[in-house]
Amino acid sequence: MRVGLLTGGGDCPGLNAVIRAVVQTVANAGGTCVGILEGWRGLVKNMSRPLDVNETDGIIAKGGTILGSSRTNPFKNAETDLPALRANYSEMGLDALVAIGGDDTLGVANRLFIELNLPIVGVPKTIDNDLMVTDFTFGFDTAVNIVTEAVDRLRTTTESHRRVQVVETMGRHAGWIACFSGIAVAADYIMVPEIPIDIARCVDVLKRHRAAGKNYGIVIVSEGAKLPNRAEFAAAGKIDDFGHVQLGGVGNEVARLIEQDTGYETRCVVLGHLQRGGSPSAGDRVLATRLGLAAGDLVVKKQFGTMVALSGTKIISTTLSAGVAANRTLDLGYYHEASAFFQ
Ligand code: F6P
């Protein structure tokens, strides 16, 4: 059996651990793997490289993806790209594909399975933790740790200068990163896409904390958080193949409003792609490895149109259709717990 692997969409720590585990599982069953470069673009443009157990054994600690990634959507220019993709799949001599990606990449995988009958197994990934069926995605834990470390550093300078520090995190549709890191850094206030921003309430909390003796403040804002009656903040108007705008800027506006309404000097740091960089946490390496092993098993058993997922502590399989049915927004129970500290 010859299995093609690709990683698509925004990269995240843990992708290489999945690649290693799939390669090992397929090799254990007597098969071989081929790495398709730069997500779906590699299948459209015929870009691949061999993958073997020896080479992939040492990649578990490496961030990013050794295969490269892109936000290519072969259904955007379907008339030319789908026939090319089909032809290259055959030319590479593939019997199956493993697609490692978020909602966009797995959405394409689902359509290719249904519409072109391509034998595909999916593995969910994203720092945003916003995929259906799977309780947590690898990459998320590392991203939350990066935000936590950054804010721990920001706290000392923020306190020295008696400032308010606004920190903008990633999380396009969902406030998972903002909420978890906000809890981890004992933020004074957290803003997530699921709840319209209430500046008056944030200002009230900051003033009360100051009156109680805390002479600085930390506010965590998800990039997708929205001010009432205003569109989301889009950086430079860029739109990708899947129609997503590049987000960014809400943190600066929140900082401006806080300073205006409190008189406290307020600064904003946008953490951006730092959250996706570097080595995966041990937890993400373990989760990614378990998902990769399970995906490899599904391929070997020819259970296509499926994807693996974490349910509680168990790795399960589900259909690609179920996995991409919708985005999974923040479970507001977590926000409720966080907000005990900013009543
Ligand atoms: O992969 C998810 C994500 O990190 C989002 O949180 C963010 O909005 C987006 O990707 C950024 O994508 P890009 O790397 O294309 O700027």
Of residues 135, 96, 143, 88, the one with CA closest to residue 275: 143
Distance 245 CA to ligand 1 centre (A): 10
pLDDT for the residue 232: 80
- Which residues of the chain fall below pLDDT 70? 236-237
Q: Which of 128, 141, 188, 284 is catalytic?
A: 128
Q: For residue range 271-316, what is the model confidence (pLDDT) as tens digits?
A: 999 999 999 999 999 999 999 999 999 999 999 999 999 999 999 9
pLDDT for the residue 103: 96
Report which protein residue has its CA nearest ligand 1's atom 2. Answer: 10
pTM: 0.97
140-277 adopts what CATH topology? Rossmann fold (3.40.50)
Q: 153: burial class by Cβ within 10 Å (0-12, 13-18, 19+)?
A: exposed
Neighbours of 231 (CB within 10 A): 8
Q: For residue range 39-60, what is the model confidence (pLDDT) as tens digits?
A: 999 999 999 999 999 999 999 9
Q: Do domains 2-138+280-323 and 140-277 have the same CATH topology?
A: yes
In ligand 1, the atom with minimum distance to the C-alpha of 247 is 8
Domain definitions of the chain by residue range: 2-138+280-323, 140-277
- The question of whether 128 is a catalytic residue gets the answer yes
Ligand 1 binding pocket mutation candidate from 73, 128, 329 (most atoms within 8 A of CB): 128
69 in contact with ligand 1, CB cutoff 6 A = no
Report which protein residue has its CA nearest ligand 1's atom 3. Answer: 10
pLDDT for the residue 19: 98
- Spell out the CATH class of 2-138+280-323: alpha beta
Distance 161 CA to ligand 1 centre (A): 32
CB distance 250 to 257 below 8 Å: no
